[in-house]
Amino acid sequence: NHDIMVIDTRQPATALPTDRLLQNILRSIGCHLAQLPPSDILRWPLFKDDSLSHPEDEARAMVQAYVSAQVSKAPIKTLLLLGHDAVRFTLDVGDDSQHFYHEHKGGALLQEQWQSTALIAPSLIDMLQEPLQKRITWQALQTLVQATL
């Protein structure tokens, strides 16, 4: 919905029930959906046979432009960033994105450029492969749960 945007890294070859897990996560914060809305998939590099280099900065610019376009259509209160790559390409985190991700995983950060809060949690695949990671996601979601009380 317009209150929350979820950004996760997809790995279609894994064939894990990521959609069902996401739906359960959204239910836990009060988003009762019969089914998930269609996903927008951003592919990088844009062209499969492109021999040009694709620096990380260009990919980040593409993801940030996408988020900005969505926010311009309708304000989004919360960005749920699932996994290191979601954080790395959505936020400007500096050179050590891995350190930033581990430092802020389970937390919330205000994102003034979109007037929203970014919740940082493990990716859906990480949660399915390591179920204890769900605890970190729940910790990040507490910001939303407490706001609705």
H/E element, 6: strand 4-8
What is the rounded distance in angstroms from the CA atom of residue 84 to the CA atom of residue 104? 10
- If you write DSSP's letter for every residue of 51-92 in order, what string do you get? -S---HHHHHHHHHHHHHHHHHHS--SEEEEESHHHHHHHS-
Q: Tokens in use for 113?
A: 């450029």
Phi and psi angles of residue 82, each rounded to the nearest 5 degrees, phi first? -105, 105
Q: Return the amino acid letter for 66.
A: Y
Predicted pLDDT at 51: 54
The pTM score is 0.88
Residuewise pLDDT in 10s, the chain (149 residues): 558 999 998 776 677 889 899 999 998 888 877 777 788 888 766 656 555 565 788 889 999 999 999 999 999 999 999 999 999 999 999 889 999 999 999 999 999 999 999 999 999 999 999 999 999 999 999 877 776 55
